[in-house]
Amino acid sequence: MERVILHIDANSFYASVECLYRPQERRYPLSVCGDPEQRHGIVLASNALAKLRGVKTGMAVWQAKQTCPGLVVVPPDYQLYLHFSKMLREIYEQYSDRVENFGLDECWADVSNPGFSIEDGRRCANEIRNRVKTELGITVSVGVSNNKIFAKLGSDYKKPDAVTVIPPDHFQDMIWKLPASDLLYVGPKTTKKLRDCNILTIGDLARAYTPMLEYKLGKNGLMLQAFANGWDRAPVMPTTAEAAIKSVGNSTTTPFDIKTLEEARCVYYMLAESVGARMRENGFRGRCISISIRTADLYTYSCQKTIDVPTNITSEIAEVACRLFAERYQRYFPLRSVGLSCTSLSMAQAPMQLDMFDNHAKREKLEAVDSAIDGIRRRFGNQVIQRGIVLAEPAIARINPKDEHTIHPVAFFAG
């Protein structure tokens, strides 16, 4: 049976949704931007008018305003975007029970069926595109091919509001002439390494000498060459199956540079509140706790520690993170941002080996306290109850990483 995979990408998603609710402002260049006062002041998404005037995602707000005088700047409303993301998925699920998210605004859908051809996929894609426009008032671009990588290339090939088919029998004519950087997971650093090897296009990558690619890029080189040749056979995760969650984490750019150990402890406790709550919410415990830092001159470092007993207790996660930081990174002050995550996850209901030296009664009480706090926050908001260590820094206490963090694409290999 021929595979027919769609990749559906909502065009300028955040900006498109905002324009629906701002009819007087959508006639002007508009960008959704973070808060400059919280040092998150970059462009997250722009409408077509702003893009025509040179505004690009990732620009600083001041730079975007210089590039496009008269730019309308609006703050992000992630709850609204989540609502639209769910409505988009409801449409996609009427065509397939195999729909896999790739961030809020992108999905793969496997519409394969016996006798269903790539041309049938084109008709299906156009029907979805028209329904989204009519029912939700925003536009999507859809790529159609026999694998996830080429379907993603197709949705990027022509925007906005378009369908692009990359046929499996002569895809070389269409995509091998494209820059190698257009391929999924070929970022700026990889692009530079490939350019140093005189690999400029996807076709160059497909035809490159395989041992050389492995030497230069390791296993990633082999994976990217497989992508370029259309050998990807990764399945689209069914709606009924939970994708394997590899980690739970949060990071934040603080309102001011972190310059002391006390300020770092404050931020790590704030992040641990978010990470712990999300693990409890999804029924996980973690054994590996990782921290990351970004210095004021934008260098990034990270380290991790594996603990004896899996945990989702906020105070245990925070204390491990603070010890790691004190041991490794005090010399790197000042810091612009920090991150915290838990990996090596197991289900919270899974049995654990008891240790006669571990105070299990105390841990059970801590879990009960955390669960009670979670319930209060669900009813009255995340900021209604906070730890004293976090309240020591009012500017940090106002950060709400659990509800206000930007949602990034899910890793391609998460399933």
Can you point out the beta strands (E) in 11-125?
Answer: 30-33, 43-46, 72-74, 99-101, 106-110
Coil vs helix vs strand at 89: helix
CA distance 203 to 269: 48
> Is there a catalytic annotation at residue 364?
no
Catalytic residue among 37, 90, 93, 106: 106
CA distance 314 to 404: 19
CA distance 191 to 180: 7
Task: Please say whether the beta carbons of 143 and 155 come within 8 A.
Answer: yes
CA distance 278 to 348: 12
Q: What is the DSSP letter of 40?
A: -
First-to-last alpha carbon distance for the chain, in angstroms, is 22
Between the alpha carbon of residue 2 and those of residues 120, 165, 172, the distances in Å are: 11, 14, 18
How many whole angstroms from its chain centre is CA 241? 19
Count H helices and E strands in the chain, helices first.
Answer: 17, 12
Where b means 16+ CB within 10 Å and e means fewer, 292-317 reads bbbbeeeeeeeeeeeeeebbbbbbbb
Beta-carbon neighbour count of residue 2 at 10 Å?
14
Task: Please say whether the beta carbons of 11 and 141 come within 8 A.
Answer: yes
The letter for the amino acid at 331 is: R
**Neighbour-count burial of 177, counting CB atoms closer than 10 A to its CB (0-12 exposed, 13-18 middle, 19+ buried):** exposed
CA distance 86 to 104: 9
Q: How is 51-68 classified by DSSP, letter by letter?
A: HHTT--TT-BHHHHHHHS
Contacts of residue 14, Cβ cutoff 8 Å, sequence gap at least 6: 32, 44, 45, 76, 81, 105
CA distance 113 to 20: 36
Residues noted as catalytic: 106
